[in-house]
Amino acid sequence: MRRTLLLLNITTTILVLVVQQNNVFYVCLSDLACFVRSVMRFLQKAVIRWDGFDEKYIQMLSVNDENVDIQYWNSNLGDDTSIKIKFDHEYKILKHWIPDLPLKVIIHGWLDSIVHKDGVFCIKTAYINVGGYNVITMDWGGIAGNRNYMLPMLMTSKIGARLSKVLDNIVDLGIMKSEDIHLIGHSLGAHIAGVCGSLIKSGKIGRITGLDPAGPGFEFAKSQKEGLKKTDALFVDIIHTSGGSTGIYHSAGHADFFPNGGTVPQSGCYDGMQIEKIIGLGEYIRQMKTLK
């Protein structure tokens, strides 16, 4: 168990970019890149099947109604009241659904959750306060909260597939069309939105907005085939503000926006790259000491 966690931390460390002011240096040695890809393929085959993990990690990697909490909101219910959407029980939102209004679906990223009021779910509050929308939030914090970035990253395809089935079930209720759906995803949540859009069977999703789609595993040290792309919806728009570090830098949508060049630091919101948080260095050191 401990050695498996060490492997995760070591590999995550290799994925990290070194950022100095505006200069971004990539780990680009071909042999090292090959090693990273090999390790990540191993993790996809072994870790996602839960080999070597105890019950806690099996639960964390399960895509169920506890770890992936989907809630329905609207202005009639208010910002403090929501209806839980359980898989295959989507019909329970029928009596609360506001007809003829579009649907906004909000998905957070790594280390985030709906409990963080200043996170991406402030968008939910804004839509409810303005009114005129049905709103769904996907809180996958039970998985995204793991500091070993690779685990949540490797789970994006499974979570996106789950969301696509939920939305297909809602469309089948006859209360909306797939083109009325707008997915808004931040970081890894943007790639979850892309997977959802690529897998939904009831018709092409109307729009996906990617807010800094995650870069590690999708643009560099690439291991994931399913990342956000323009074919995932009728219209895909992406805002890049950390391209080349924690976010992708290449254009992947019908419309891509690069405020201030699309890279860090962004004026007024950059307080320094905290490398130790990204790679979980503290936990790695503690585990090393335990093994001695």
pLDDT tens digits for range 89-126: 999 999 999 999 999 999 999 988 877 777 788 999 99
The mean pLDDT of the chain is: 80
Q: What is the pLDDT of residue 168?
A: 98
Question: Rounded to an integer, what distance in angstroms lies between the CA atom of residue 212 and that of residue 258?
Answer: 10
Nearest to 157 by CA among 183, 194, 113, 105: 194
**Does the pLDDT of residue 276 top 50, yes or no?**
no
| pLDDT range class, residue 271, cuts 50, 70, 90 | very low
Q: What is the pLDDT of residue 60?
A: 59
Q: What are phi and psi of 139, to 5 degrees?
A: -105, 105
What's the CATH fold of domain 65-290?
Rossmann fold (3.40.50)
Q: Which of 53-57, 60-64, 152-156, 200-204 has the highest mean pLDDT?
A: 200-204
What percent of the chain has a predicted confidence (pLDDT) above 90?
A: 55
More confident: 12 or 79 = 79
Question: Rounded to an integer, what distance in angstroms lies between the CA atom of residue 131 and that of residue 181?
Answer: 16
Alpha-carbon distances of 123 from 94, 104, 129, rounded to whole Å? 23, 10, 10
**Does the pLDDT of residue 179 top 80, yes or no?**
yes
- Lowest-pLDDT choice from 67-71, 257-261, 264-268, 272-276: 272-276
Q: What is the pLDDT of residue 61?
A: 67
Question: Rounded to an integer, what distance in angstroms lies between the CA atom of residue 21 and that of residue 69?
Answer: 38
Buried b (16+ CB within 10 A) or exposed e, 108-144: bbbbbbbeeeebbbebbeebbeeeebbbbbbbbbbbb
**Does the pLDDT of residue 207 top 50, yes or no?**
yes
Q: What is the pLDDT of residue 120?
A: 85
Q: What is the pLDDT of residue 63?
A: 87
Q: What is the pLDDT of residue 164?
A: 97
| pLDDT range class, residue 31, cuts 50, 70, 90 | very low
| pLDDT range class, residue 29, cuts 50, 70, 90 | very low
The tens digit of pLDDT for each residue in 208-261 reads 999 999 999 998 777 777 899 999 999 999 999 999 889 999 999 999 999 999
Q: What is the pLDDT of residue 95?
A: 95
Q: What is the pLDDT of residue 7?
A: 55
**Does the pLDDT of residue 65 top 80, yes or no?**
yes
Question: Rounded to an integer, what distance in angstroms lies between the CA atom of residue 81 and that of residue 72?
Answer: 9
Within 13 Å, how many C-alpha atoms sit on residue 24's CB side? Answer: 17
Q: Domain coordinates of the chain in residue numbers?
A: 65-290
Helix/strand/coil (H/E/C) assignment for every residue in the chain:
CHHHHHHHHHHHHHHCCEEECCEEECCCCHHHHHHHHHHHHHHHHHCCCCCCCCHHHHHHCCCCCCCCEEEEEECCCCCCCCEECCCCCHHHHCCCCCCCCCEEEEECCCCCCCCCCCCCCHHHHHHHHHCCCEEEEEECHHHHCCCCCHHHHHHHHHHHHHHHHHHHHHHHCCCCCHHHEEEEEECHHHHHHHHHHHHCCCCCCCEEEEECCECECCCECCCCCCCCCHHHCCEEEEECCCECCCECCCCCCCEEECHHHHCCCCCCCCCCCCHHHHHCHHHHHHHHHHHC
The tens digit of pLDDT for each residue in 126-156 reads 999 999 999 999 999 989 988 888 889 989 9
- Sign of the CA dihedral running 49, 196, 69, 155: positive
The tens digit of pLDDT for each residue in 41-57 reads 555 554 444 444 445 55
Tell me the whole-structure pTM to 2 decimals. Answer: 0.77
